[in-house]
Amino acid sequence: MDNFFQHKARKRFGQNFLVDENIIERIVRAIAPKESDNLVEIGPGQGAITRLLLQRCPSLTAVELDRDLIPMLKFKFRDYPEFNIIEQDALKFDFGTLAGDIRAGGRPLRIVGNLPYNISTPLLFHLLSFRGAVQDMHFMLQKEVVDRLSATPGSKSYGRLSVMVQYHCRVQGLFPVPPQSFRPAPKVESAIVRLVPHTAPPHPAKDEQLLERIVNVAFQQRRKTLRNALKPLYPELDPALLPVDAGRRPETLSVQEFVQLADYCETLTGD
């Protein structure tokens, strides 16, 4: 009966369906879901990972944009009455509504998903905005993105995404996933990553919005020195007063050094 539902992967949704059972089982082992978890899956697709997740956590909530997949998912998992599908664009969805007020007994989210590679970076930033309500996140991403998430200062992959995600989360790349694990096979390598939001950032910034703005401006032209990169924001800045060498390139600064830089710049904008 399941074969009644035929669905062709849609390029506009960035769909590549995972079909390798060994990889699926390995992903679920890494997540280690429990029955009591507040588990949320982004983009369940045809339910390859969903099936194993539901066996361990029957109250799973799925967020799916492709309305044509929803009848298939509801039918396939009809024996799980607590399985909840929300037809929404994950980029616009308020994930905080699924957690409630954490301080008043709300349940922190465990978010998983095979994220569409064409929107992975904006989606990661969107999810970070709910970090106070999140226990951990496990995602399938393009391997290049996972490399950027875990990159260290001075490496080619290090950039805005590295700094801001590492500021908010502990990042752990888990294992690669080859293209042949999908149907249709993507033209890129994939990988699984675990993100665990910090209870408090190891190096808290005085103004996190300013930190993000400075990091963004600094990496817009990554080969510039800090002296030149910060000119659009602070044209009168005296480079000699910066807490880091103004002749360095942004790609060489650690997360802690970016925080030091943002904290200094916060004194320039304060009353």
Higher pLDDT, 28 or 223: 28
Sign of the dihedral defined by the CA atoms of residues 201, 249, 215, 151, in that order: negative
Pick from 3, 109, 31, 118: nearest CA to 63 = 109
143 assigned to some structural domain: yes
74 and 151: one domain? yes
163 and 263: one domain? no
152 assigned to some structural domain: yes
97 assigned to some structural domain: yes
202 assigned to some structural domain: no
Mean pLDDT over residues 50-60, rounded? 97
Per-residue confidence band for 10, with pLDDT thresholds at 50, 70 and 90: very low
177 and 218: one domain? no
Domain that holds residue 230: 208-269
162 assigned to some structural domain: yes
Per-residue confidence band for 102, with pLDDT thresholds at 50, 70 and 90: confident
Mean pLDDT over residues 204-227, rounded? 94
Residue that finishes a domain, picked among 197, 230, 260:
197
97 and 189: one domain? yes
For residues 253 and 244, the answer to whether their CB atoms sit within 8 Å is: yes
What is the per-residue pLDDT for 8? 52
Note if the pTM is more than 0.85: yes
24 and 61: one domain? yes
For residues 80 and 54, the answer to whether their CB atoms sit within 8 Å is: yes
214 and 191: one domain? no
143 and 253: one domain? no
Question: 169: part of which helix (H) or strand (E)?
Answer: strand 169-177
Residue that finishes a domain, picked among 197, 220, 237:
197
Per-residue confidence band for 14, with pLDDT thresholds at 50, 70 and 90: very low
184 and 79: one domain? yes
Share of residues in the chain with pLDDT > 70 (%): 93
203 assigned to some structural domain: no
128: domain CATH number is 3.40.50.150
What is the per-residue pLDDT for 139? 98
Please state the domain count of the chain.
2
**pLDDT exceeds cutoff 90 at 116:** no
95 and 174: one domain? yes
Per-residue confidence band for 270, with pLDDT thresholds at 50, 70 and 90: low
Per-residue confidence band for 9, with pLDDT thresholds at 50, 70 and 90: very low
Torsions phi, psi for 121 (to 5 deg): -65, -50
**pLDDT exceeds cutoff 60 at 230:** yes
230: domain CATH number is 1.10.8.100
What is the per-residue pLDDT for 115? 87
Residue that finishes a domain, picked among 172, 197, 222:
197
224 and 190: one domain? no
- In single-letter form, the type of residue at position 200 comes to A
For 152-205, what is each residue's pLDDT tens digit? 999 999 999 999 999 999 999 999 999 999 988 888 999 999 999 999 999 999
CA atoms within 13 A on the CB side of 8: 3
7 and 49: one domain? yes
167 assigned to some structural domain: yes
What is the per-residue pLDDT for 2? 46
**pLDDT exceeds cutoff 60 at 7:** no
52 and 105: one domain? yes
What is the per-residue pLDDT for 194? 98
17 assigned to some structural domain: yes
